[in-house]
Structure 1
Amino acid sequence: MDSMDNEIEKLKTNEVKLKSIATNQLTRQCAELCRSEDIKIPELEGDVGTLHKTHNVYQSTSPGGHPHHVLRDLAKKYGPLMHLQLGEVSAVVVSSPEMAKQVLKTHDLTFASRPMLSAAEILFYNGTDIVFSPYGDYWRQIRKICILELLSAKNVKSFSYIRHDEVLRMIEFFRSSSGESVNVTKKMYQFASSMTCRSAFGKVLKEQDELIQLLNEASILAEGFNVADIFPSLKFLHVLSGIKGKSMKVHHDLDAIFENVINEHKNNGESGGEGLIAALLRLQKEGGFQFPITNDNIKAIIFDMFAAGTETSSTTLDWAMVEMMRNPNVLLKAQAEVRNAFREKETFNENDIEELKYLKLVIKETFRLHPPLPLLLPRECREEIDINGYTIPLKTKVIVNAWAIGRDPKYWDDVESFKPERFEFNSVDFIGNSFELLPFGSGRRICPGISFGIANVFFPLAQLLYHLDWKLPTGINPSDLDMTDSAGAACARKSNLYLIVTPHQPCLE
Structure 2
Amino acid sequence: MDVLQNLLILPLFSFIFFIIFLHKWWSTPQKNLPPSPRKLPIIGNLHQLGQYPHRSLHYLSEHYGPLMLLHFGRVPILVISSADAAREIMKNQDSIFSNRPKLSIPDRLIYGSKDVAFSPYGNYWREMRSICVIQLLSNKRVQFYRHVREQETSIMIEKIRQMGSSSLVVNLSDMFISITNDIICRVALGRKYGEHGKFKKFLEEFMQLLGEYSVGDYIPCLGWIDWVSGLNGKVERVAKLFDEFLEGVIEEHSKQRKRGVDLDFVDILLDFQRENEGSSLADDDAIKAIILDMFAAGTDTTSSVLEWTKAELIKNPKALKVLQDEVREVAKEKEEITEDDIDKMHYLKAVIKESLRLHSPLPTLVPRQSTQDTKVLGYDIAAGTQVVINVWAIARDPSFWENPTKFHPERFLDTNIDFRGFNFELIPFGAGRRGCPGMAFGLAISELVLAKLVRKFNFGLANGEREEDLDMSEVKGLTVHRKFPLLVAIQHTC
TM-score past 0.5 threshold: yes
Q: Secondary structure at the match of 2:380?
A: strand
The answer as to 2:31 corresponding to 1:40 is yes
Match of 2:105 in 1: 119
Q: Secondary structure at the match of 1:270?
A: coil
Aligned CA distance change for structure 1 residues 246 and 289 (closer, same or farther; 3 Å): same
Please show how residues 232-311 of structure 1 align to structure 2 within 5 Å.
Answer: 232=220, 234-270=222-258, 274-311=263-300
The answer as to 2:63 corresponding to 1:68 is no
Q: Distance in 2 between matches of 1:384 and 1:38?
A: 14
Match of 2:385 in 1: 396
2:342 to 353, 368, 371: 353
Q: Distance in 2 between matches of 1:139 and 1:199?
A: 23
Please show how residues 343-382 of structure 1 align to structure 2 within 5 Å.
Answer: 343-382=332-371
Q: Distance in 2 between matches of 1:489 and 1:232?
A: 22
Task: Report the CA distance between 1:60 and its aligned residue.
Answer: 4.5
Gaps of at least 5 residues in structure 2 are: 1-27
CA contact (8 A) 2:38 2:45 kept: no
Q: Distance in 1 between matches of 2:267 and 2:190?
A: 8
The answer as to 2:89 corresponding to 1:100 is no
Question: In the TM superposition, what whole-angstrom CA distance separates every residue of 1:256-307 from its partner, at most 9, and x where no partner exists?
Answer: 1101111111122226962111111112222243435211111111011111
Aligned CA distance change for structure 1 residues 340 and 284 (closer, same or farther; 3 Å): same
CA contact (8 A) 1:182 1:500 kept: yes
Task: Report the CA distance between 1:178 and its aligned residue.
Answer: 2.1
CA contact (8 A) 1:117 1:222 kept: no
Q: Secondary structure at the match of 1:82?
A: strand
2:134 to 148, 154, 174: 148
Moved more, 475-484 or 262-271: 262-271
Match of 2:116 in 1: 130
CA contact (8 A) 1:364 1:420 kept: yes
Aligned CA distance change for structure 1 residues 58 and 256 (closer, same or farther; 3 Å): farther
Q: Tell me which amino acid in the other structure corresponds to 1:97.
A: A
CA contact (8 A) 1:177 1:501 kept: no
Match of 1:168 in 2: 154
Task: Report the CA distance between 1:418 and its aligned residue.
Answer: 0.4
CA contact (8 A) 1:41 1:83 kept: no
CA contact (8 A) 1:51 1:83 kept: no
Match of 1:21 in 2: none
Q: Distance in 1 between matches of 2:38 and 2:112?
A: 31
Moved more, 207-216 or 385-394: 207-216
CA contact (8 A) 2:45 2:73 kept: no
Q: Secondary structure at the match of 1:471?
A: strand
CA contact (8 A) 2:305 2:355 kept: yes
Match of 1:203 in 2: 191
CA contact (8 A) 1:207 1:257 kept: no
Match of 1:183 in 2: 171
Aligned CA distance change for structure 1 residues 207 and 126 (closer, same or farther; 3 Å): farther
CA contact (8 A) 2:328 2:455 kept: yes
Match of 2:489 in 1: 500
Q: Distance in 2 between matches of 1:55 and 1:172?
A: 53
Task: Report the CA distance between 1:224 and its aligned residue.
Answer: 5.1
Q: Distance in 1 between matches of 2:301 and 2:98?
A: 22
Task: Report the CA distance between 1:348 and its aligned residue.
Answer: 2.2
Moved more, 208-217 or 472-481: 208-217
CA contact (8 A) 2:368 2:387 kept: yes
Q: Distance in 2 between matches of 1:475 and 1:57?
A: 42
Question: In the TM superposition, what whole-angstrom CA distance separates every residue of 1:444-494 from its partner, at most 9, and x where no partner exists?
Answer: 000000110110111111111111221112420012211111111111111
Q: Tell me which amino acid in the other structure corresponds to 2:100.
A: R
Q: Distance in 2 between matches of 1:106 and 1:117?
A: 26
CA contact (8 A) 1:223 1:488 kept: yes
Count of residues in Structure 1 that have an aligned counterpart in Structure 2:
462
Q: Distance in 1 between matches of 2:48 and 2:248?
A: 40
Using the aligned pairs only, state the percent identity: 38
Aligned CA distance change for structure 1 residues 118 and 381 (closer, same or farther; 3 Å): same
Q: Distance in 1 between matches of 2:416 and 2:259?
A: 47
TM superposition score normalised by structure 2: 0.90
CA contact (8 A) 1:83 1:91 kept: yes
Moved more, 255-264 or 474-483: 474-483
Moved more, 289-298 or 132-141: 289-298
The answer as to 2:52 corresponding to 1:52 is no
CA contact (8 A) 1:49 1:79 kept: no
Q: Distance in 2 between matches of 1:251 and 1:404?
A: 32
Moved more, 470-479 or 409-418: 470-479
CA contact (8 A) 1:57 1:70 kept: no
Q: Secondary structure at the match of 1:362?
A: helix
Moved more, 454-463 or 339-348: 339-348
Aligned CA distance change for structure 1 residues 347 and 237 (closer, same or farther; 3 Å): same
Q: Secondary structure at the match of 2:86?
A: helix
Match of 2:470 in 1: 481
Match of 1:315 in 2: 304
Q: Tell me which amino acid in the other structure corresponds to 2:125.
A: W
Q: Secondary structure at the match of 2:70?
A: strand
Aligned CA distance change for structure 1 residues 108 and 498 (closer, same or farther; 3 Å): same
TM superposition score normalised by structure 1: 0.87
CA contact (8 A) 1:48 1:80 kept: no
Task: Report the CA distance between 1:230 and its aligned residue.
Answer: 2.3
Match of 1:432 in 2: 421
Aligned CA distance change for structure 1 residues 297 and 365 (closer, same or farther; 3 Å): same
Aligned CA distance change for structure 1 residues 322 and 55 (closer, same or farther; 3 Å): farther
Q: Distance in 1 between matches of 2:29 and 2:365?
A: 26
Q: Tell me which amino acid in the other structure corresponds to 1:91.
A: I
Aligned CA distance change for structure 1 residues 207 and 149 (closer, same or farther; 3 Å): farther
Task: Report the CA distance between 1:48 and its aligned residue.
Answer: 2.7
Aligned CA distance change for structure 1 residues 339 and 267 (closer, same or farther; 3 Å): same
Task: Report the CA distance between 1:242 and its aligned residue.
Answer: 2.3
Q: Distance in 2 between matches of 1:380 and 1:392?
A: 11
Match of 2:25 in 1: none
Question: In the TM superposition, what whole-angstrom CA distance separates every residue of 1:392-414 from its partner, at most 9, and x where no partner exists?
Answer: 11111000001001111011111
1:342 to 306, 331, 335: 331
Question: In the TM superposition, what whole-angstrom CA distance separates every residue of 1:181-234 from its partner, at most 9, and x where no partner exists?
Answer: 000010111100111111111111267532322222222222253323322454
